[in-house]
Structure 1
């Protein structure tokens, strides 16, 4: 695959990163929207926390299952073709969700959406690996993922306003139209450096690469903390922050959406600041791995505070949570740096498959644990339900972080 020579910053930002960022904005909006519309879904369908968790997490099942095929396609056909086609599938899923009238149909529609946005991050990571020098990957990664934070922000108070005006089916019709426009934009705007065809390794060789990656100690150290770090952060931000604020914080739906807006703003800032900080620290000799270890340790502290129910409705707590909850996204540039660029699509796709596959378990598992406690007369769950579910996540994250940090001196600098 040919690599562009010295592309200008404005060219890379406008013609490469921005089109993919529009798709990733929608991906995160789709991922996060159920945290706000959850009461409407529960009221319309008459479902409990367990069913809500499974319905929302259906997104992650197909998202994870698609990662390995998407990684192969990205390495073979290039990011623009793959991502544009996937966004059309997301549009179809949004139409189906808007038209569904039962729990199974909503779950299937959300699963289709998950398939359609499965390449949102990986296509951009592949493009970054093609168009930018390695030392700028962390900064570009942080800048790009800011678009995801903006999508999470859009899934808070703006969605709440939309619900009051037109309801959740109309919201998904709008998302379907935006997905089609995103597909067209990516296909027409992004320069295509891939050469479709059968040059390069065959399918069997690519599949063997996945097996070798799964046996690589660098991947085995990185994957667990990435799974629990990103999985817990996404599960809480995209769904369980809303019920938590209502049940533990005692807030109404509108006030909870305002706190979720604060969380989304902090999440967006966290993506940007994390990328800038990692880039600056690299120049001072601090590795990406070291940066991820310390920032993830801060997230463990925040998660413990949330689990304990201390200041549950405090904006400051949720600012801290948003700034730290997805710091393990540094795993993507770390893994890209550890392997050849021609394998970058498959490496990050495998990591993404593991992360999002187990995020389904985490998001649904939180609902199953919460359902072990009976609801009160007004439909709320007790604080103990959240203390146990979130507390188990904090303990698991601390254990996986220790596993990753233990052999730090033996791990290659990245």
Structure 2
């Protein structure tokens, strides 16, 4: 896949303001939408449980289907972007997301809801990578860190929109109508991409399937990739799975908050995520000027995130706003390893390295989100559809152990490139 790591420096001229906005805004809207889809179930979970009678394991499965479909799409996505361009690929995929949202709105069983959720995940699987590809085509290399950071910040406001605003809307309408609205929004953004975003006159990539797969195999044989990947996957899988679903139930069951309080705290979490994305790139860049590699910065941030999870276990529900905002702020540090891999791999391999890591991260997020549902189901009260605090302790404790193992693995692998 070609991304900022693949082709940085290809564009030497800076586009005009109008062109820059026509490139940035439609792709940023797509990434904004993808974050809404990714996190909205954390707010609507009580409605889904009440209306469909699903248990915690079912809730985890149907929500995590998003991540599985997202992961499956990663490797072919790179070849599609190179062959057909980011504008057309993302426009087509967003129509699939819209179909998925409509199917989800019609769903009345675990199977139908899971199928709809999977279509949504497939439909937004290219929102970030397509944007990165377009930005590389249109913006100078020196501007890419800033542009990419702006994209991440805009996207994370989608998580913010999926908290208190969604809770407010549920006071007037149903979750089914909410998803029908999201389906329409998906189609609107798809049409905006086709009508507003310009087409870049870049020659299609000529790498064959064998060359593409050979590059991916080279990434998976690399020592440094496997030094950094376990800690990154464990950290990001926990962050994505919990932010996207289980943070809301924790705030209800462990902190004892009502729905309004849950929405307020999830808003604080999402604001912290926005700040984290804005800060993580800046911090990594400043440390890089002092000779500190992005991989080292990432590991320090992910270690802080691990400590926050341990604090959540020990808190017993106290200080929820402070802890969950720290969760959001430090959870974004798991995106810095993508920059580390872009520096470690050169040329076209950088994009495939990031895609390979993305694949592992989203498979991990699928497993964690579904697995947490299965564990919480063991402590589920059928009368109230709430989950015992012990279940959350087991889940967070297991995730903390996995991340600790990844940290130890990174530290012991000193012969890898830092």
Question: Does the alignment reach a TM-score above 0.5?
Answer: yes
- Contact persistence 1:153–1:264 (CA under 8 A): yes
Aligned counterparts of 1:348 and 1:194: Cα–Cα separation in 2: 25
Change (3 A) 1:237 1:104: same
User: Residue 165 of structure 1 aligns to a residue in which SS?
Assistant: coil
How far has the Cα of 1:353 moved from its partner?
Answer: 1.2
Change (3 A) 1:362 1:109: same
Question: Counterpart of 1:346?
Answer: 352
Match of 2:64 in 1: 57
Q: For the Cα contact (< 8 Å) 1:309–1:387, is it kept in 2?
A: no
Question: SS where residue 411 of structure 1 aligns?
Answer: coil
Check if 1:148 corresponds to 2:161. Answer: no
Tell me which moved more, 8-17 or 170-179. Answer: 8-17
- Corresponding position of 2:276: 270
Does residue 236 of structure 1 match 2:230? no
- The one-character-per-residue Cα deviations of 1:15-48 (angstroms, maximum 9, x if unpaired) are 4333211101100100100000000000011111
Alignment of 1:106-121 (within 5 A): 106-121=113-128
Q: Residue 99 of structure 2: which of 70, 92, 105 is its match?
A: 92
Structure 1, 95-104 or 265-274: larger mean CA deviation: 95-104
Q: 2:312 aligns with which of 278, 301, 306?
A: 306
Question: 1:137-286 residue pairs with structure 2 within 5 A?
Answer: 137-193=144-200, 195=202, 199-286=205-292
Query: Is 1:373 equivalent to 2:379 in the alignment?
Result: yes
SS in 2 for 1:201: coil
Is 1:244–1:386's contact at 8 Å kept on the other side of the alignment?
Answer: yes
- Which shifted more, 43-52 or 175-184? 175-184
Q: Is this contact kept in 1: 2:10–2:140, CA < 8 A?
A: no
Judge conservation of contact 1:248–1:309 (CA < 8 Å) in 2.
Answer: no
Q: Which residue of 282, 297, 300 corresponds with 1:294?
A: 300
Partner residue in 1 for 2:4: none
Provide closer, same or farther for how the CA distance between residues 314 and 374 of structure 1 changes in structure 2, counting only shifts above 3 A. closer
Do structure 1's residue 123 and structure 2's residue 130 form an aligned pair?
yes
Residues 195, 299 of structure 1: CA spacing in aligned structure 2 closer, same or farther, 3 A cutoff?
Answer: same
After superposition, residues 366-405 of structure 1 pair within 5 angstroms as 366-375=372-381, 377-405=383-411
Between the aligned partners of 2:293 and 2:82, the Cα distance in structure 1 is 27
Q: Is the 8 A contact 2:219 2:349 kept in 1?
A: no
98-107 or 24-33: bigger deviation: 98-107
Tell me, yes or no, if the aligned pair for 1:126 and 1:344 is still in contact at 8 Å.
no
Residue correspondences, number: 411
Label 1:226 to 1:304 Cα distance change in 2 as closer, same or farther (>3 A): same
How much does 1:283 deviate? 2.3
CA contact (8 A) 1:71 1:348 kept: no
Which of 34, 40, 47 pairs up with 2:47?
40
Per the alignment, do residues 238 and 59 of structure 1 end up closer, same or farther by CA in structure 2, a change over 3 Å counting?
same
| Secondary structure at 1:285 match in 2 | coil
Q: Is the 8 A contact 2:99 2:183 kept in 1?
A: yes
Return closer, same or farther for 1:208/1:11 CA change in 2, 3 Å cut-off: farther
CA contact (8 A) 2:298 2:333 kept: yes
| CA deviations over 1:285-340 (Å, ceiling 9, x no partner) | 22211211111111011011112244445311111111001211112222223334
Shift of the alpha carbon at 1:160? 0.7
- Structure 1 residue 329 and structure 2 residue 335: aligned? yes
Q: CA deviation at 1:223?
A: 2.0
Distance in 2, matches of 1:118 and 1:324, equals: 24
Find the counterpart in structure 2 of residue 7 from structure 1.
14
1:163 deviation in Å? 1.1
Could you tell me whether the CA contact under 8 Å between 1:89 and 1:112 is conserved in 2?
yes
> What is the aligned partner in structure 2 of residue 83 from structure 1?
90
Q: Which runs of 5+ in 2 are unaligned?
A: 1-6
Is 2:405 the counterpart of 1:362?
no
Kindly state the Cα deviation for residue 176 of structure 1 after the two structures are TM-superposed: 1.0
Question: In structure 2, which of residues 73, 76, 95 is the aligned counterpart of residue 66 of structure 1?
Answer: 73
The alpha carbon displacement at 1:277 in A equals: 1.6
Structure 1 length normalisation: TM-score? 0.93
Residues 285 and 219 of structure 1: CA distance in aligned 2, closer, same or farther (over 3 Å) = same
- Deviation digits for residues 332-371 of structure 1, max 9, x if unmatched? 2222233344344433222211111121001111111112
